[in-house]
């Protein structure tokens, strides 16, 4: 029963964005199942179990501490309520891949108790995790040989994420007549970008913005340098006013997140502060100070 509860708990995890699995050797004697974002190994008897979840790598955007915190939040805290954790000194695998370990007692959504360790593997360009769970710290010791065999077999991955050179959209409908926001970024291969946004303030009042400029990236950073921006207020019948928009040069921290259930990529932009161009931050507790855009959203513009 404990094994089944733990198995269901780990399957419920929605991990971070992942593009391609690790090359690794499966542990001997473990039953394997897989999804688009992780592979799971389980070995169970009547008295104890070992459950391993190897999560696909994603692009690295921060230092070890930041990446460990992000993996802990998006893997462990998505399913479990962890007790006070302990972070162990960094180590390296047989293939010289650095990893950091965090341990904690775990409680799942049904009150089931277990013990887990998260091994966050950081390479030059990628981050991925191995989550190991057993009933207690004592029974966890039987898992260590399998954990070591998986970690030592890992080969540094090639990250295969989508290019940023595409369109990224937002179509957020507010309550009542006001509050609807539609935005579309188009990042061109030549380093230029176009922005169109439409914000509805009342039953018959909109603000429309068209902006152009240049974009550039460095690891984990996206910079927009606008060169021109035009904004008008209008009703369904006519333009009523023009506005002067600020030309905001902003460097965003960015990340790409894959949503398996909808087969879409999200572009998560986190600026130093809220921008006029993007408006209010997304109402998303996972990213409370970020903007989220999707490569699957094509805004349904108001026909004028």
CATH number of the domain where residue 6 is located: 2.60.120.1690
pLDDT at 177: 62
- Considering only residues 86 and 176, tell me which one the structure prediction assigns the higher pLDDT: 86
**Per residue in 3-14, pLDDT tens?**
444 444 454 443
Min mean pLDDT across 191-200, 212-221, 241-250 is at 212-221
- Whole-angstrom distance, CA of residue 214 vs CA of residue 223: 8
Task: Select from 109, 128, 153 the last residue of a domain.
Answer: 153
Q: Is the model's pLDDT at 288 over the cut of 90?
A: no
Q: Pairing between strand 291-294 and 264-270?
A: antiparallel
pLDDT band at 250 (very low <50, low <70, confident <90, very high): very high
Q: What is the pLDDT of residues 47-81, one digit of tens each?
A: 899 999 999 888 777 777 888 899 999 999 989 99
* 175 lies in the same domain as 221: yes
Q: Are 49 and 66 in contact (CB under 8 A)?
A: no
| Statement to judge: residues 171 and 116 lie in one domain | no
Structural domain contains residue 302: no
What distance in Å separates the CA atoms of residue 242 and residue 209, rounded to the nearest whole number? Answer: 10
CA angle 151, 152, 153 (to 5 degrees): 90
Residues 104 and 16 in one domain: yes
Q: How far is 87 from 248, CA to CA, in rounded Å? A: 40
- What is the model's pLDDT at position 130? 96
Higher pLDDT, 220 or 132: 132
What angle (nearest 5°) sits at the alpha carbon of residue 157, between those of residues 153 and 158?
A: 160
Average pLDDT score, the chain: 87
132 shares a domain with 207: no
- For residue range 106-150, list pLDDT tens digits in order: 999 899 999 999 999 988 778 899 999 999 999 999 999 999 999
Q: Are residues 55 and 175 in the same domain?
A: no
pLDDT of residue 8: 45
Asked if 71 and 16 sit in the same domain, the reply is: yes
In terms of domains, do 179 and 149 share one? no
Q: Which residue, of 97, 121, 153, is where some domain finishes?
A: 153
My answer on whether 203 and 128 are in the same domain is: no
CA 71 to CA 92: how far, in whole Å? 18
Regarding whether 205 and 134 lie in a shared domain, the answer is no
| Residue 161 within any structural domain of the chain | no
Tell me which of 124, 153, 182 is where a domain ends: 153
Task: Give the per-residue pLDDT at 12.
Answer: 43
Is pLDDT above 90 for 40? yes
Residue-level pLDDT at 60: 77
Residue 162 falls inside a structural domain: no
pLDDT for 161 equals 58
Q: What is the pLDDT of residues 168-216, one digit of tens each?
A: 999 988 656 678 999 999 999 888 999 999 999 888 999 999 999 999 9
Beta bridge partners of 194: 186, 212
Q: What is the pLDDT of residue 2?
A: 46
> What is the pairing mode between strands 205-218 and 239-243?
unpaired
> pTM for this one?
0.55
- Position 13 scores a pLDDT of 42
- Structural domain of 59: 2-153
- Reply yes or no on whether the pLDDT at 220 is more than 50: yes
What confidence score (pLDDT) does residue 16 get? 39
On whether both 61 and 198 belong to a single domain, the answer is no
């Amino acid at each position: 029963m404990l094994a089944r509860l733990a198995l269901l708990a780990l399957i419920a995890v929605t991990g971070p964005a992942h593009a391609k699995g690790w090359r690794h050797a499966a542990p001997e004697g473990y039953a394997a199942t897989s999804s688009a974002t992780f592979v799971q190994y389980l070995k169970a008897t009547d008295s104890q179990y070992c459950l391993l979840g190897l999560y696909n790598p994603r692009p690295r955007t921060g230092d070890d501490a930041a990446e460990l915190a992000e993996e802990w939040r998006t893997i462990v805290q998505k399913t479990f309520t962890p007790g006070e954790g302990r972070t162990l000194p960094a180590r390296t695998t047989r293939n010289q891949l650095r990893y950091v370990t965090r341990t904690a007692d775990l409680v799942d959504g049904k009150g089931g108790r277990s013990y887990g360790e998260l091994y966050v593997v950081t390479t030059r360009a990628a981050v991925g995790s191995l989550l190991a769970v057993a009933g207690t710290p004592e029974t966890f010791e039987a898992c260590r040989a399998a954990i070591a065999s998986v970690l030592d077999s890992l080969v540094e991955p090639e990250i295969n994420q989508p290019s940023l050179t595409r369109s990224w959209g937002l179509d957020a409908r507010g309550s009542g007549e006001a509050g609807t926001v539609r935005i579309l970024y188009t990042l061109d291969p030549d380093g230029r970008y176009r922005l169109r946004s439409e914000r509805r303030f009342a039953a018959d009042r909109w603000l429309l913005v068209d902006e152009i400029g240049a974009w550039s990236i460095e690891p984990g950073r996206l910079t927009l340098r606008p060169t021109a921006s035009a904004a008008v207020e209008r009703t369904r019948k006519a333009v009523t006013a023009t506005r002067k928009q600020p030309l905001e040069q902003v460097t965003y921290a960015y990340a790409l997140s894959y949503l398996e259930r909808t087969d879409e990529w999200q572009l998560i932009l986190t600026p130093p502060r809220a921008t006029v161009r993007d408006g209010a931050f997304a109402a998303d507790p996972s990213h409370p100070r970020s903007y989220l855009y999707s490569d699957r959203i094509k805004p349904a513009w108001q026909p004028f």
